[in-house]
Amino acid sequence: MTERLLPAISAFLDWANEAEPRPVLEVEALVLLLSTHLDSGAHEPGDWTVDDVHDVAALLRERDGLPEGLRDTWLSWCDHLVASGRLMSAESPRRLRAAVEHVDLTPGVPGAAGPEPLAEAAASLLDRLGFGEVEEPTPLLPFVPAPLSELDTRAGACPTLHRAARLAAWVDPGRLLRPGTDHDDLCEDDTVRAAEALGTTPEEVRFLFTVARSAGLVRTTYLHVLPGPAAHAWARERPGAAADAWADALTTMAALPGPAPFLLITELFLSGRALTPVELVPACGPGAVPASEAPEQHVRRVLKVLADLDAVEEVGQERYRASDLGDHCAARHLRESGVGVPVAPPVSGLGAGEFLELLEGVRPVDVEVLLDRWLAGQPPGAAAQALLDAGLPPADGDAGAFVRTVSERPWADVVLARLAECPLKGTADLAR
């Protein structure tokens, strides 16, 4: 039993001892369930989706026999996660419980044959991260995260997230969900009243409610709507709360079919380059693009939507790179998936030689950011001369003009413009 399971099981037992009526609980079945969940690729005991239910059930069916109370214990575990707010995914509690109730647990019943559709769609990303067929994946380059205050400001300025936050504030805690459905939605009367209060349509309210759930601004039980963890964090003005909510809701806000939005954002983040739609097509494996669209057409459509949401930015003629918010989103979700995402170290106190060596191992998009930070920490003239002494070639071989120009305008773009062709300049150009 791993260390991650012990606190989860302890919390479940505490909840079960106080719950009325007392839920069905078999410790042996619970340990088997949670261990299998981790074996299926989960990283946290409380992170469950409907797909996870089917993946876990497929592994359980491979066993010769299962504890008699497994399904009832599984349902109790689901009830515990929902009641205590420990369900980490944005999955509908209703859909999750229904999946547990009906999934086949008959030993020996085979699962679906062939590779998983999502694994095929994300084959390029999985190879890059070392989870695919490539034996020696490329190490991830360290990135430079933007200050959380800047990320929060940009996230709060996103119109869709702002409207979802307004809806979350309008919804009273404990308001009933619409009955008789397997998904989470406000009751019809509440939907109409919310539309009037927000000056929009009932259809928009339904969409904003899904955004608010994905962002963690609200959470749902089987019957009610409650404030979500992001709402509490945002109200307390925790640094990064708005940016995290934006990142968690990005694919919901995009409202596009398939995994292409996440795949494109992650490709731009990992490469740290400005890429064209044609260059981004290989990031979308089989099944990532709807059959009704050509791959390049779909990639262009996704990039336009992501640009409107401030997840990517167009930096040249049909060249896109991840925005600071896009970087934050990709890094957050990769870490949640157990991927180590390195961060570039501070540059203050580094000599010119050490600094240039550092720049050789970062993403192209971060070269100018780090260069600006390094220049800001010392006298401009001395910094310019130190860069030349460390081996940077001045344009036209004119060292004096380089030092004078950088002394007057100690900015990264000026330094790069006053350099002759060299590896550093070539790397920085990849982000433009």
* pLDDT at residue 115, as a whole number: 45
The answer, yes or no, to whether residue 302 has pLDDT greater than 80, is: yes
Q: What is the pLDDT of residues 270-301, one digit of tens each?
A: 999 999 999 999 999 999 999 999 999 999 99
- 261 vs 265: CA distance, rounded Å: 6
Spatial contact of 203 and 218, defined as CB atoms under 8 Å apart: no
* pLDDT at residue 45, as a whole number: 93
pLDDT interval class at 114 (50, 70, 90): very low
- 322 vs 309: CA distance, rounded Å: 11
Sheet holding 218-220, edge to edge: 175-176, 224-227, 218-220
Q: Say which CATH topology domain 148-235 has.
A: Arc Repressor Mutant, subunit A (1.10.10)
Q: 43-52, 148-157, 239-248, 402-411: which has the minimum mean pLDDT?
A: 43-52
Q: What is the pLDDT of residues 92-112, one digit of tens each?
A: 999 999 999 999 999 887 755
* pLDDT at residue 113, as a whole number: 43
* pLDDT at residue 153, as a whole number: 97
Average pLDDT over residues 245-263: 96
The residue ranges of every structural domain in the chain are: 5-102, 148-235, 352-429
pLDDT > 90 in the chain, percent: 84
- 266 vs 288: CA distance, rounded Å: 14
Q: What is the pLDDT of residues 11-28, one digit of tens each?
A: 999 999 999 889 989 999
* pLDDT at residue 377, as a whole number: 86
Residue closest to 267 by CA, chosen among 312, 304, 308: 312
Q: What is the pLDDT of residues 24-43, one digit of tens each?
A: 899 999 999 999 999 988 88
Q: What is the pTM of this model?
A: 0.92
Residue closest to 21 by CA, chosen among 97, 76, 102, 103: 76
Work out the mean pLDDT of the chain and round it to a whole number.
Answer: 93
